[in-house]
A and B are shown apart, each in its own frame.
Chain A
């Protein structure tokens, strides 16, 4: 089956720094999603990407759908303490028998020091 490799596994940064994380896949997806999970909560959708090459922003977050459709990255600019959490990428091939099935990366644990 499809596998996603997400890196880095964890990051320790100072408040105000920029952060970058990425996901690569062994095969193509036609949709990429980025989620954030706070402790004791379910994942919350941050950004959804639908087209190869697409660059989308949501506040201080920017994500891109790779041209090959096998990768995506997420940038967080000027990090703040509430950015702490686990960030997951997820790939999806919409339609057909996949019907919304998300394949998740292993997650990136982000720690922000004030």
Chain B
């Protein structure tokens, strides 16, 4: 009964490859996010989707393309992987609540290593 799940947990790949990370939430939330956590543990938002519509798109290379087939899923596809893409990627979801605040629930993360 995992609330926010991601696959895979670990991903090791070569530079130049294309890879995808999948995220699913069973909380019935209408907003989903992707975050990147670097080696210094700094968390930074990349994208957010509300009801399958892109809401936030931070300064992220266009090699990163999120896709939301439905409210419960937000996948992240990365083209032409680079060494600097190595990080832990977290998916999160939220539902607008008190005063428009979104308390976000995070998945377990996907550790991406680019060789």
Which residues of A are at the interface with B, using a C-beta cutoff of 8 A?
30-31, 33, 35, 37, 40-45, 48, 50, 86, 88, 92, 94-95, 99-102, 104, 106-107, 109
Task: Give the distance to chain B from A56, nearest Cβ to Cβ, in Å.
Answer: 13
A-B contacts, 16 listed (Cβ < 8 Å): A31-B99, A31-B101, A35-B106, A40-B109, A42-B90, A42-B92, A42-B108, A43-B43, A94-B102, A99-B31, A100-B33, A100-B101, A100-B104, A101-B45, A101-B56, A106-B41
A33 and B101 CA atoms in complex are apart in Å by: 10
B residues touching A (Cβ–Cβ < 8 Å)?
A: 4, 31, 33, 40-45, 48, 50, 55-56, 90, 92, 94, 96, 98-109
CB-defined contacts of B100 to chain A, threshold 8 Å: 94-95
